[in-house]
Amino acid sequence: MRFDLQIIGELVEERSRVLDLGCGRGDLLDLLQREKKVEGYGIEIDEKKAIEGISRGLSVLKGDINEETKDYADKFFDYVILSQTLQQVYQPEVLIKEMLRIGKKGIVSFPCFNHYGIKLQLLLTSKAPVTEELPYEWYNTPNIRVITLRDFRIFCAKYRIKIIRELAISSHYKKTTGKVVGFLPDWFARYGIFLVSSF
Amino acid sequence: MSEYGTHDKDGISVGIVAKKIFTFAEPPRQMSLDSGKKLGPITIAYETYGELNKERNNVVMVFHALSGNSHAAGYYREKDVKPGWWDNMVGPQKGIDTDKYFVVCSNIIGSCYGSTGPSSINPATGRAYGLDFPLITIADMVRAQKALIDHLGINKLLCLVGGSIGGMQAMEWAVSYPKMVESVIPIASTCKRSALAIGLSEAQRQAIMADPSWKDGGYYGTAIPEKGLALARMIGHISYLSEDSMHRKFGRRLHENNAFKYDFSGDFQVESYLQYQGKKFVERFDANSYLYITKASDYFDLGEQRGRGSLVEAFSRSSAKFLVVSFSSDWLYPTSQSKEMVSAMKKAGIDVSFCEIETDFGHDSFLLAHTQLTRLISGFINRMSNGGERNSQV
Examine the pLDDT at B254 and tell me if it is beyond 80.
Answer: yes
What is the predicted pLDDT for the residue at A173? 64
Please report the pLDDT score of residue B394 as a whole number. 35
Q: Nearest CA to B108 among B346, B244, B295, B239?
A: B295
Whether A103 maps to a domain, the answer reads yes
Stretch (H or E) spanning A164 = strand A161-169
B392/A71 CB distance under 8 A? no
pLDDT for B363 equals 95
Whether residue A143 is predicted with pLDDT greater than 90 in this model: the reply is no
Range of the domain at A169: 3-113+146-198
- Count of domains observed in chain B: 1
Going by the DSSP 8-state scheme, the letter that residue B82 receives in this structure is: S
Active site residue B164: yes
Residue A121 lies in a domain: no
Q: What is the mean pLDDT of residues A117-131?
A: 90
The verdict on residue B250 lying in a domain is: no
Residue A15 burial (C-beta neighbours within 10 Å; 0-12, 13-18, 19+): exposed
Q: What pairs with residue B368 in β-bridges? A: none
Q: Which of A71, A72, A76 to mutate to test the interface with B (most CBs of B within 10 A)?
A: A71
CATH (domain of A70): 3.40.50.150
In a domain, B226, yes or no: no
A71–chain B nearest CA distance, Å: 6
**Mean pLDDT calculated for residue range A127-151:** 89
CA gap B394, B376 in Å, rounded: 17
Q: CB A63 to CB B382 under 8 A?
A: no
Indicate the DSSP class of residue B268: B
Instruction: Judge whether A130 lies within some domain.
Output: no
How far is the C-alpha of A99 from the C-alpha of A159, rounded, in Å?
13
Is residue A127 in a domain? Answer: no
* Of the partner residues A34, A54, A70, the one whose CB lies closest to the CB of residue B355: A54
B150 flagged as catalytic = no
**Which position among B71, B330, B338, B385 bears the catalytic label?**
B330
The SS3 assignment for B267 reads coil
* Res. B277: pLDDT tops 90: yes
Task: Give domain status of residue B205, yes or no.
Answer: no
Question: Is A140 a domain residue?
Answer: no
pTM score, two decimals?
0.94
What's the rounded mean pLDDT across residues B146-159? 98
Contact between B380 and A34 using a beta-carbon 8 Å cutoff: no
Q: In percent, how much of chain B has pLDDT > 70?
A: 97
Task: Answer whether residue A176 is part of any domain.
Answer: yes
Residue A136 has pLDDT above 50, yes or no: yes
Model confidence at A131, pLDDT cuts 50, 70, 90, reads confident
Q: Over 80: is that where the pLDDT of B387 sits? A: no
Q: Number of structural domains, chain A?
A: 1
Residue A135 forms part of a structural domain: no
How far apart (Å, rounded) are the C-alpha atoms in residues B23 and A133? 67
B247 annotated active-site: no
Strands B121-122 and B127-128: antiparallel
Residue A152 has pLDDT above 70, yes or no: yes
Q: Has residue B278 been placed in a domain?
A: no
Q: What's the whole-number mean pLDDT along residues B33-42?
A: 98
Q: Give the CATH number, domain containing residue B50.
A: 3.40.50.1820
Task: Compute the mean pLDDT over every residue in chain B, rounded to the nearest whole number.
Answer: 95
pLDDT, greater one: B344 or B3: B344
Whole-angstrom distance, CA of residue A65 vs CA of residue B309:
29
Question: How close B97 comes to chain A (CA, Å)?
Answer: 14
User: Which residues does chain A have within 8 Å of residue B315's beta carbon, measured at their own beta carbons?
Assistant: none
Q: Specify the 3-state DSSP secondary structure of B34.
A: coil
Neighbours of B216 (CB within 10 A): 8
Query: Cα separation of B83 and B85, whole Å?
Result: 7
Higher pLDDT, A62 or B265: A62
**From A67-81, B3-17, B121-135, B303-317, the region with the lowest mean pLDDT:** B3-17
- Out of B111, B363, B364, B370, pick the active-site residue: B363
Tell me the pLDDT tens digit for each residue of B97-122.
Answer: 999 999 999 999 999 999 999 999 99
Helix (H) or strand (E) holding B299: helix B287-299
Examine residue A122 and state whether it is found in any structural domain, yes or no: no
What does the CA dihedral A169, A170, A171, A176 come to, rounded to 10 degrees? -40
Condensed to tens digits (0 to 9), the pLDDT of residues B334-386 reads 999 999 999 999 999 999 999 999 999 999 998 987 899 999 999 999 999 98
Question: Pairing mode, if any, of strands B121-122 and B183-187?
Answer: unpaired
Residue B5: the pLDDT is 67
DSSP letter for B224, please.
Answer: -
Residue B6 has pLDDT above 50, yes or no: yes
Q: What DSSP element (H or E) covers B326?
A: strand B321-327
| Domain assignment present for B49 | yes
Least confident of B212-216, B303-307, B386-390: B386-390
Nearest-CA distance from A78 to chain B in Å? 14
Over 70: is that where the pLDDT of B393 sits?
Answer: no
Domain span at residue B135 reads 20-193+301-385
Q: Which residues of chain A are within 8 Å of residue B392 when distances are taken between CB atoms?
A: 26, 30, 33-34, 56-58
